[in-house]
Chains A and B, each alone.
Chain A
Amino acid sequence: MRFSRMLSASVALPLAVSLAACGGGAPQTPAADGGADPHELDDATHEELVELATEEGEVTVYSFTSRIASVEEAFEAEYPGIDLIGHDISSSEQITRLRSESQAGTPSADVAYISDAPVVITELVAGGILQNYVPPRVAETVPEEYRQPLLANRLSTKVLMYNEEAHPDGSPVGNLWQLTEEEWNGRVVMVDPAVRGDYLDLVAEIVRQSEAMAQAHLDHFGTEVVLDDGVENAGQQFVKDLYGNGLVLVDDTDNVNAAVGAAGQDDPPVGFTSYSDRRDNEEEGWALQASLGTAPSPGITFPAYIGMVRDSDSPAAARLVADFLMGDDSETGGPAFDPFYVPGDYPVRTDMAAPGGAVSLDELGAWDISPEETAQIRDDVADFLLTL
């Protein structure tokens, strides 16, 4: 008995301390102070940045792509006095990490190169964890939507792809609604949007584009779309029908690529994946091709953002990295942009040419996601998927 009393007292203290110390995982940043205040270095000239950055000596970059390794080499060749430390960390982990670090007051990165736009914009940028910086050099050549609320340097895609070996005359899918018909039953593959954020963005965009989906339904079937109970719009109806038509969900993009792209298949499925994965066709023995001309759209494009981490140790070098990631002023962006200059990805700068080997952004006709609007409906779409 004595023992237990003593113990209950000895537990109370550490618990109280830990409770106070451990605020949990929710963002606890002061309300929307970020983004609004410009940083003192935002207007610094390139020379000033180089001088300050050289004093700082090193800069840490979180990147959602391993291509940061090539950027590192190119950057250090250009600025020998500054050590760029690149870390390949997926977007959702960057988000958790940046949030936790900010909460603990120990930011360890200076720059975040990150996708997952809806979460980044509504949580990291709105919460002030990431701040925007647009290098004055490129401000003119980057369209407004890729300068605000956060700078992007290129667009990636999640689009419908097919097997061009099995369909040499072009995509077998002219209209997305075909995917809900018997012909494609059990033969559409995609990564489960309940598991991966970028695919949730794709589905959210389809729902957001309900009017276009309704029109496409009319074009394809010749009738107005009829909504089931609990279905609010044509986009949701399409998603429901797609799920009902034996949509095959997998855990990983590579699985989609292999399923759709593998050569030697008689009757390959189609699936949603990245246009730029086509560059691996030769290496992997795939025959992936984007489903061009599919109405109303083959899929989405989304930005790769460059964010400045608040209160970081190397703000000047961070801005120099942002400037560098935007490419030099040549048509291809020079060695700085080289790792990202691949067919199927699209530089945002209007003075750069799109990489050869893929159709132009216009011709692709993918929907460009709107991070804020997607964020608004994204949770509802996720909930909707959970009821299917």
Chain B
Amino acid sequence: MKRAPAPRRTTVGSTVARARTALGQPTAVLGAGTLLVLAVLVVAPLLGLVNTTLTAGNREAWTDVFASPMSENLLWRPMGNSVLMGVATAAGSTVIGGFLAWVVVMTRLPGRGILGLLATIPFALPSFALALAWESVFRNDLIGGSTGILMNLGIPVPDWLAWGPVPIAATLTAHYFSLSFMLVAAALASVNGDLMEAAELTGAPTMRVARDIALPVVAPAMVSGALLAFAEGVSNFVTPALLGLPVRFHTLSTRLYGAISTGDVSRGYVLSIVLILVAAMIMYASTRITGGRRSFATITGKGGRRRGVDLGPWARPVAAVAWLLVTCTTVVPGLVLVFSSLTLRTNDFSSGLTLHYWIGGSDPALAQGQRGILNNPQILQATWNTVLLGVCVAICAGVLGLLVSYVITRSGGPRWLTGTMGVLSFVPFLIPGIALGAAFIAQFGAPIGPIPSLYGTFAILVLAGIAATIPFAVRSGTSALGQVSKDVEESAVMAGAGLFRRIGSVIAPLTARGLFTGGVLVFVQMVRDLSLVVLLATPAMPVLAVLTYQYSSENFTQSANAVTVVIAVISVAATIIARRFEGAAQPWNSNS
């Protein structure tokens, strides 16, 4: 291992002296420390990616992508489609997620607790479940085989409704509005009751209060949610592959996965770099437009209880819309998933139902003798591993996320630094999981100094997991922190509390709700994500997502769906448990 020589400075002495002074400041230590962690977890894999595309023999991938007869189909059109899907997903998710969050947190509609729980589920469902649900309703005879419910009822379904951008944007939105919902709900829940009450006392109508007081206050959370939804929408592979390919609708992600899986790795990496750049630009533009500086501190030292908004005559229509939304995005796909694990024949709901794929013994006539999943000791082992992994990553990423977002929003560091950290903490989203996994093997597979090779250990999974989920942790940390008034922290400073004491005893408890939300997002992401762990999961340590993938690649669709149901149940359970903790952590905020 070679180390690059230290950067030469003419005034080495003074630099060292300055550094020493700076090190005395805890904020600087924190900034340097988090930046270093980000460098190892994010920058290094990224450089590995870039590096690969610059080695001899791989360099022409750049010209192939940008300046060849293929560019049109490989880059430009897919890029347009990706941006379109990303923007549509972000817009749809913000509207739906924001609306549901408002209904759940701010109104007094009956059953809003259940509504809130159901709204968090779509994110825990695999994207193919939603695409499959769409198909089971709208599929027409373009491909052949069986058709969806509408066609079977004799209602013709045009291609644009069955395939391509419209269904893709709709299913992606149905999948990712949960992100916006969770972030916005957490933000709304912490809106100071005094503000609302004051507004109401002045006689402002309910809707006006919502628009002028609540909306600006939750703006950071909405932007965060929109950005996450955008990134997810841009990088999702399964949905455009399932619903787009039949009409040859390609996105950067389908092109990227295609290139990697057909052996043209460097071209795939170039596309993923393009994806990262495009998304970074959009992110930059969006923070400029929405005014990244403008944040509203809502958690101050004092605060009153909040009453729910009375909707009056609007109660019924609003409730109807809210229930319709969660029914279409949670109940229907959930049922499709459960039922398709019970069908005797793959996705053929008329073939009869069986519990074989859940509890059956080995029967050579079905799925080549695979046992029902609850009868399979491997599943138990995998379930334990998965939960452990999710918890470890959620805790580590949560702590890191809080620290990074503290540096970004509070350290008063130079703009380039906070900007860089903001972008860095977003980038892992856009690195295809499988490439991130390969980069981690390359980086930590060999011993580095005193650190032994991590390949095949649980540690490397956790590290990669943290890297991959930093975006969730930092975004939710930022939106939670954005609401904590500086007054609170300043009073702690006056009281003589040091930086880490402040973070531990003041910031963390105050932002607990947002942090729990982030933790749940990270946990769910880890539990269901496949592409990252597929290379890193040690052969001796199965995780559920990998098992799902193995089942489905062998066409044991029912078993795959059954395992997916297990994943969804774990995710939902985590959400419910986290809520309990939230309640305990923020007793002053319980508004019942």
Contacts and interface: CB of A to CB of B under 8 A. Distances in A.
A187 B262 CA distance: 25
B258 interface: yes
A5 B21 CA distance: 12
A11 B36 contact: yes
A12 B6 contact: yes
A20 interface: yes
A3 B413 contact: yes
B337 interface: no
B366 interface: yes
Interface size band for B = 35 or more
A222 interface: no
B261 A26 contact: no
A210 interface: no
A359 interface: no
Interface in B438-481: 438-439, 441-443, 445-446, 448, 453, 455-456
Contacts of B448: 17, 21
Interface string B5-16: 011000000010
A65 B441 contact: no
B445 A9 contact: no
A15 B39 contact: yes
Contact of B15 (A5, A85, A382): A5
A19 B73 contact: no
A105 B445 contact: yes
A27 B591 CA distance: 59
Contact of A25 (B1, B74, B265, B348): B265
B537 to A, nearest CB: 10
Contacts of B351: 285
B262 A197 contact: yes
Interface string A20-44: 1111111000000000000000000
A383 B557 CA distance: 33
Contacts of A90: 553
Contacts of B50: 24
A230 B68 CA distance: 13
A190 B23 CA distance: 62
Contacts, number: 275
A382 B438 contact: no
Contacts of A76: none
B441 A100 contact: yes
A373 to B, nearest CB: 16
B554 A65 contact: yes
Contact of B44 (A4, A18, A193, A253): A18
Interface stretch (A170-178, A231-239, A244-252, A317-325): A244-252
Interface residues of A, number: 92
A45 interface: no
B287 to A, nearest CB: 21
Interface stretch (B100-108, B212-220, B238-246, B308-316): B238-246
B348 A87 contact: no
Interface stretch (A134-142, A262-270, A290-298): A262-270
B155 interface: no
A194 interface: yes
Interface stretch (A91-99, A146-154, A344-352, A364-372): A91-99
A24 B442 contact: yes
B587 interface: no
Given A9-B15, A106-B453, A194-B258, A386 B51 contact: no
Contacts of B369: 70
Contacts of B348: 284-285
A3 B414 contact: yes
B578 interface: no
B58 A108 contact: no
B45 interface: yes
A195 interface: yes
B144 A269 contact: yes
A259 B246 CA distance: 12
Contacts of A55: none
Interface in A186-211: 186-187, 189, 192-197, 200
Counting chain A CB atoms within 10 Å of each CB, the highest count among B69, B145, B255, B446 belongs to: B145
B142 A248 contact: yes
Contacts of A24: 48-52, 55, 439, 442
Nearest to A268: B144
Contacts of A25: 48-49, 52, 265, 269, 435, 438-439, 442
Given A16-B3, A26-B52, A101 B555 contact: no
B260 A284 contact: no
Given A19-B47, A90-B553, A262 B441 contact: no
B592 interface: no
Nearest to A19: B47
A195 B47 contact: no
Given A249-B246, A283-B366, A22 B51 contact: yes
Counting chain A CB atoms within 10 Å of each CB, the highest count among B19, B74, B143, B263 belongs to: B263
A116 B366 CA distance: 27
Given A88-B554, A249-B246, A15 B146 contact: no
Given A25-B435, A101-B441, A108-B539, A20 B58 contact: no
A189 B145 CA distance: 11
Q: Which 3 A-B pairs have the closest CB atoms?
A: A104-B445, A18-B44, A24-B52
9 contacts: A5-B18, A10-B35, A11-B39, A17-B448, A66-B370, A283-B365, A285-B345, A285-B351, A383-B68
